[in-house]
Amino acid sequence: MKKIIITGGAGFIGSHVVRRFVKTYPQYDIINLDKLTYAGNLANLKDIENEPNYRFVKGDIVDLEFINNLFAEEQPDAVIHLAAESHVDRSITNPLDFVMTNVVGTVNLLNAARNIWKGRYSETRFYHVSTDEVYGTLGEDGMFTEQTGYDPHSPYSASKAGSDHFVRAYHDTYGIDAIVSNCSNNYGSFHFPEKLIPLAINNIKQNKPVPVYGKGENIRDWLWVEDHARAIDVIFHKAKAGTTYNIGGHNEWKNIDLITLLCATMDKKLNRPEGTSAKLITFVTDRAGHDLRYAIDSTKLKNELGWVPSITFEEGLEKTVEWYLENEEWLDNVTSGHYQQYYNTQYNHR
Ligand code: NAD
Ligand code: DAU
């Protein structure tokens, strides 16, 4: 593989994937294709922006003409597709944005790839990065495996499910070399503070209420983002065409327990008396259609490709808190302007 287009490379996970590929594979040409929505931020890639094997292209995957021209001009050998609208709460307010980017955008990329790859599918690859939310919700027992049926409940997960189906359909119908991975909740540096962990860190830092939906009983399976980027690297290089891998941390946390641990970690790092931050926890109106529990069984990835998470959640959370406290400027920049507007609309009525 020589030239790889990584979509959504200016976002949270995408920036870690771009950084990993640029640094690990100097022989690859990495093109970061991103629209720079509110979630895209080139500051996430400051440390590698001048590397000779890296380029940024600003563009919208919904714009078919632009995508076709880019693919015709660049003739990429592979696509790693992360660009998406990714926040469940925003999907409840604006479902159509999610259909456009996540479904139509993905089909546009598949069509553009098909146009230039016809006759050489075995030398090319389309890697679609997806989520465990497509499987719906679990009760108290069990885990999502690659065989679990799709049962999405939010407009976000429905749009990701749709995109997964299209990717697999293009493999089955046209023979395109496509792979899909479905990952659990990520956390780590460069995470936009609309998502639970960075939002809570930001609020605790500012002594603002930490909003916990419902009773905080919902369970998520958390994975350090750099472990996800490493899984993507391994799958991209080793998976067989047409396969799917689940990626997860075997690390389930009830939201309220997670936030309690985060408050204790913040107290320690900010030299506050024990219990100070926990006083900020505020229970607010629940998310509509809120999935109760996610848990990923990533045995297939471990057994077939040898991937396992590299750090514990306690280590990862501490590193994450330290990163946010050391990168105040990044946090201040992303939480100014539009973020404040979003925050007020999202939380003032809860
Ligand atoms: P993010 O919201 O942080 O980043 C998304 C990126 O896509 C941004 O840089 C944004 O500018 C770009 N983008 C959005 N619409 C675009 C468009 N129309 N054209 C081009 N670029 C566009 O998202 P993330 O959390 O980094 O997630 C990345 C991918 O991983 C998504 O596909 C998501 O579904 C999937 N995923 C995320 C998680 C998680 O916990 N965050 C877990 C599993 C899977
Ligand atoms: O499971 C993978 C998914 O994880 C990804 O596909 C999504 O892109 C990503 O956003 C994430 O979705 P979640 O909805 O699980 O993440 P979020 O951080 O929004 O919420 C985590 C849990 O915390 C969830 O149960 C809702 C709850 N929550 C969230 C926010 C923002 C709160 O209690 N309060 C909040 O303010």
pLDDT tens profile 220-253:
999 999 999 999 999 999 999 999 999 998 999 9
Q: Yes or no: say if 318 and 224 are a contact pair by the CB < 8 Å rule.
A: no
* Nearest residue to 186 via CA among 15, 6, 300: 15
pLDDT at position 261, please? 97
Q: pLDDT band at residue 348, thresholds of 50, 70 and 90?
A: confident
Take residue 38 and report the two structure tokens written for it. Answer: 């509110």
Distance of CA 20 to the CA centre of its chain: 15
Tokens matching residue 16: 């870690």
What percent of the chain is modeled with pLDDT above 70?
Answer: 100
37 Cβ closer than 6 Å to some ligand 1 atom: yes
Our CA dihedral for 256, 188, 327, 284, rounded to 10 degrees, sits at: -30
> CA-to-CA distance for 348 and 50, rounded, in angstroms?
42
Q: For the purposes of burial, counting CB atoms within 10 Å of the CB of 19, is it exposed (0-12), middle (13-18) or buried (19 or more)?
A: buried
Q: Return the closest-CA partner of residue 61 out of 4, 113, 108.
A: 108
The CA 75 to ligand 2 mean position distance, Å, reads: 36
Q: What is the DSSP letter of 62?
A: T
Confidence of residue 349 (pLDDT cuts 50, 70, 90): confident
Give the mutation target among 5, 6, 7, 13 for probing the ligand 1 site: most ligand atoms within 8 A of CB.
Answer: 13
Residues with CB under 6 A from ligand 2: 86-88, 131-133, 184-185, 195-196, 199, 211-213, 218, 220, 255, 287, 294
- DSSP letters of 178-246? EEEEEE-EEESTT--TTSHHHHHHHHHHTT--EEEETTS--EEEEEEHHHHHHHHHHHHHHPPTT-EEE
Q: Is 133 a catalytic residue?
A: yes
Q: What is the reported pLDDT for 341?
A: 85
Residue range 3-186+223-249+290-311, CATH number: 3.40.50.720
156 φ/ψ angles, rounded to the nearest 5 degrees: -60, -55
Mean per-residue pLDDT, 31-51: 96
For residue 237, report the distance from its CA to the centre of ligand 1, in Å: 21
Q: Whose CA is nearest to atom 37 of ligand 1?
A: 131
* DSSP calls for 7-49: ETTTSHHHHHHHHHHHHH-TTSEEEEEE---TT--GGGGGGGT
97 is catalytic: no
Give the separation between CA 129 and CA 84, rounded to whole angstroms.
Answer: 10
Decide: 84 in ligand 1 pocket, CB within 6 A: yes
Ligand 2 mean position, distance from CA 244 (Å): 23
Report CA(19)–ligand 1 centroid distance (Å): 15
pLDDT at 13: 99
Closest listed ligand to the CA of 232: 1
The Cα 341–Cα 128 span in angstroms is 32
Share of the chain above pLDDT 90, in %: 95
The Cα–Cα gap between 181 and 58 comes to: 25
From 5, 19, 37, give the residue whose CB has the most ligand 1 atoms within 8 Å, as the site to mutate: 37
Residue 129 CB neighbours (<10 A): 28
Residue 156 known to be catalytic: yes
Structure tokens at 124: 């090319």
Q: Cα–Cα distance between 152 and 338 in angstroms, integer? A: 29
State the pLDDT confidence band at 1, using cuts at 50, 70 and 90. Answer: low
Mean pLDDT rounded to a whole number for the chain: 97
Query: How many angstroms does the Cα of residue 10 sit away from the middle of ligand 1?
Result: 9
Query: For ligand 1, what atom is nearest to the CA of residue 60?
Result: 19
Asked whether the beta carbons of 214 and 283 are under 8 A apart, the reply is yes
Residue 338 pLDDT > 90, yes or no? no
Q: What average pLDDT score do residues 314-336 get?
A: 95
Mean pLDDT of 155-179: 98
- Distance from CA of residue 12 to its chain's centroid? 6
CB 70 within 8 A of CB 45: no
Report the separation in Å between the CA atom of 115 and the middle of ligand 2, taken as the mean of its atom positions. 36
From 121, 127, 135, 156, active-site residue? 156
The pLDDT tens digits of the residues spanning 295-313 come to 999 999 999 999 999 999 9
